[in-house]
Structure 1
């Protein structure tokens, strides 16, 4: 079935009306299904990552609406859920289905997380959103505040948070197994970035609504590169600054979840970055960043390093550390923990002979999606709710900001101001193209 489409005039009227509701202080009570009832869920973005999210909730809850700008990529999902109403424009979907939806999943490219999420939460709908939550620090903060204001059940797509190995790594750090941790190195071993430039503009595929795909971002015509691939859609958008957040946005929330959880991190006070020559349009193939976190009542100050580097940071070679699948190194006063999503090891080995792991204190997850659906039904917050994942997402995006700004700055999280580097200011906020400005403040 072809998704329902909306005219340009209707789209602007709908968006303006919904936006006005938000800024007039609308704060509806969220709908909460009983524990044994099924949620009525709408899914925005059902190709790519959206398939996994749809699978995560579709077996236990009612999928009542599906929205995608590309009928072809959405086709299999439409076939699986023939009773769900189909839409191309989420604004029309949310307008039509407001009284029939309990919760919304947003699985679109980074530049189109913010608008559907804000509209849905303004309506009092619970929200599951893909990482890195949004496209700018300001967008993330607005989403975090609105979720708290409207008392909504939220979850950011950091599925690895539910893995048992991550639980054990967090327990090792929290129990003091390697002493006081003062420094952490986290990384993604990748050289992805700097995608090929477009070589020619071509007709938009008939199944794709290109204007809706672009949404609030800078408009570019549909084009292909020298390989015949779409310059932006369906995937290369990730490595263009106007639409994606690079490998840092792609992997940062997953990997930095480990130190964030283990060390009770929140907002950094200093951000620094370095790397290759800055490209104004495309994300880099490597990047080094660092964040200074102040002491709290559980630990001293911490310096967290995040990098996109093939084979990881230099400290691994310096200390002769190897572990398949590792992505994080904790440096403590009594030793080091090298870990990842599925492995962990304490160093130096001779210092930990006969070591007994601390008692498991973190309960097994009932399932990452079930955490969220249970929360929607009033059974307590999901582990990656926005109170936790919002500051983490902001930190990830601050690393990108420092890189694009050509250097570091002191960070005032209370005012969202970068001090000591005026070049950072444009990258902290979002500029929306004409017709999408309703959330600008």
Structure 2
């Protein structure tokens, strides 16, 4: 029998966020499973993308035993699909009551809730599939990476392009030396654009958003089907407004990671792997006008990576030179020179709304899609008759979810191509760009010590350029959670 929620119980659970409610249970680590043994799956976030993620687990043979969502209307289709699954509004309550019955957890919430739900599940010994970006901020990404390195559970981030044969072959092509030593990476997307409102000009045309930004007007009343306190979760309290949920949260600093966080874990994924990019040394952002609530309408973010080594099958140790990586977002609202530059780099090929380029000293690899699953070598004349190297990255025929489930059954956490030891550093690099957006000028990054080192030179560009108004950008690396949540 499914666990039904009354309005009274719904309101009761919605107040637990500030009550220090959850008490950690003893971990119940799952062992390797036989191919025919079913896993029990639970969802943190059951509507929208969350519904798709938990359905994928069911399609792969999992029993769906629990569903957690803070918006009953948004999750209703998933509730109908799995009527026997127990329902919760607070994932802490779900883990407290059902951790012994759960093997697998999908986390498909707004970005600001990814880390706490994922870490709680991992510490309870549950295998975790978390949507991209893995986390909202840098500190969270580092902590999930370190937890995953313990190797006790299987993890996978939901950047499904990682499973594409084309992406894995593109990684091999670059690492084999086909385009020489990589020197530059360019990645672009048309988002946010018309997908969701972002930036002062993009947001102020919406009445609810205008009120939220200015503080004027009466706050809206949360609908009866939304547990607003639980939706806010780790984030600071603010009155409900439909300009935040269920979709527009992506453009808000407190909840999302903007166009960069939404898409770079897809679009920059292939290049990040192929070029063996670790910690950047500097990050600098150029943007449209900014405010202290939302991400900008468009941005150009420049990363610099140091020289590094790479181990490549058949080549041994390869010495890689410093590399510059530039990210562009905002579609047609970005500076005109950006589009011209990308067209020039693509060497006459049609340029789509999102894609990437890896420029080496012997050629260029061009990927014209969100996921890096298609690629071309340029200039074409130089690569006529080219044959890719013998594969060394295992192929899974695009089956990202299946790779995750199979790794659980084989007890091989390292078998997932986007496990958190890989997805964590990628996410950390991506959201460092969000830090640069807020810092207002170039930041110098000490990756091993997780610290911005040129603090004395930086003032938050939202503030006046006075010493007393300077903001230490290290404060953007980690958030203060509301009471009742911890990492």
Cα shift readout 1:356-381 (whole Å, capped 9, x = no counterpart): 33344433215101111122223423
Aligned to 1:318: 344
Normalised by the length of structure 1, the TM-score is: 0.90
The answer to which of 80-89 and 269-278 deviates more is 269-278
Work out whether residues 42 and 54 of structure 2, in 8 Å CA contact, stay in contact via their aligned partners in 1: no
Work out whether residues 19 and 483 of structure 2, in 8 Å CA contact, stay in contact via their aligned partners in 1: no
Query: Alignment length, in residue pairs?
Result: 426
CA distance in 2, matches of 1:73, 1:277: 33
The answer to which of 143-152 and 366-375 deviates more is 143-152
Aligned to 1:139: 140
Matches within 5 A, 1:5-404: 5=10, 6-7=12-13, 15=21, 17-18=23-24, 29-59=29-59, 60-149=61-150, 151-192=152-193, 193-194=198-199, 195=203, 196=206, 197-199=209-211, 200-223=218-241, 230-298=242-310, 299-310=320-331, 313-319=339-345, 320-325=347-352, 327-340=355-368, 341-365=372-396, 367-380=399-412, 381=414, 382-404=416-438
Cα shift readout 1:349-402 (whole Å, capped 9, x = no counterpart): 332233333344433215101111122223423110011110000000001101
Cα shift readout 1:314-364 (whole Å, capped 9, x = no counterpart): 422334443354511111111112113353222223322333333444332
**1:146, CA displacement in angstroms?**
1.9
The answer to which of 423-432 and 62-71 deviates more is 423-432
CA distance in 1, matches of 2:93, 2:29: 21
Work out whether residues 304 and 323 of structure 2, in 8 Å CA contact, stay in contact via their aligned partners in 1: yes
Work out whether residues 273 and 406 of structure 1, in 8 Å CA contact, stay in contact via their aligned partners in 2: yes
**1:118, CA displacement in angstroms?**
1.7
Cα shift readout 1:131-185 (whole Å, capped 9, x = no counterpart): 1111110111112222223621100011011122212322221121111111111
State the SS of the aligned residue for 1:117: helix
Indicate how the Cα distance of structure 1 residues 14 and 376 shifts in structure 2: closer, same or farther if over 3 A, else same. Answer: farther
Cα shift readout 1:385-423 (whole Å, capped 9, x = no counterpart): 011110000000001101111012221122210111353
Normalised by the length of structure 2, the TM-score is: 0.82
CA distance in 2, matches of 1:232, 1:69: 14
Work out whether residues 22 and 92 of structure 2, in 8 Å CA contact, stay in contact via their aligned partners in 1: no
Q: Any stretches of 5+ residues in structure 2 without a counterpart?
A: 212-217, 311-319, 333-337, 459-471
State the SS of the aligned residue for 1:149: coil
State the SS of the aligned residue for 1:201: coil
Aligned to 1:226: none
**1:291, CA displacement in angstroms?**
1.8
**1:188, CA displacement in angstroms?**
1.0
CA distance in 1, matches of 2:411, 2:117: 25
Work out whether residues 28 and 150 of structure 1, in 8 Å CA contact, stay in contact via their aligned partners in 2: no
CA distance in 2, matches of 1:201, 1:41: 37
Work out whether residues 20 and 484 of structure 2, in 8 Å CA contact, stay in contact via their aligned partners in 1: no
Work out whether residues 184 and 331 of structure 1, in 8 Å CA contact, stay in contact via their aligned partners in 2: yes
RMSD: 2.2
**1:189, CA displacement in angstroms?**
2.2
State the SS of the aligned residue for 2:265: helix
CA distance in 2, matches of 1:12, 1:210: 12
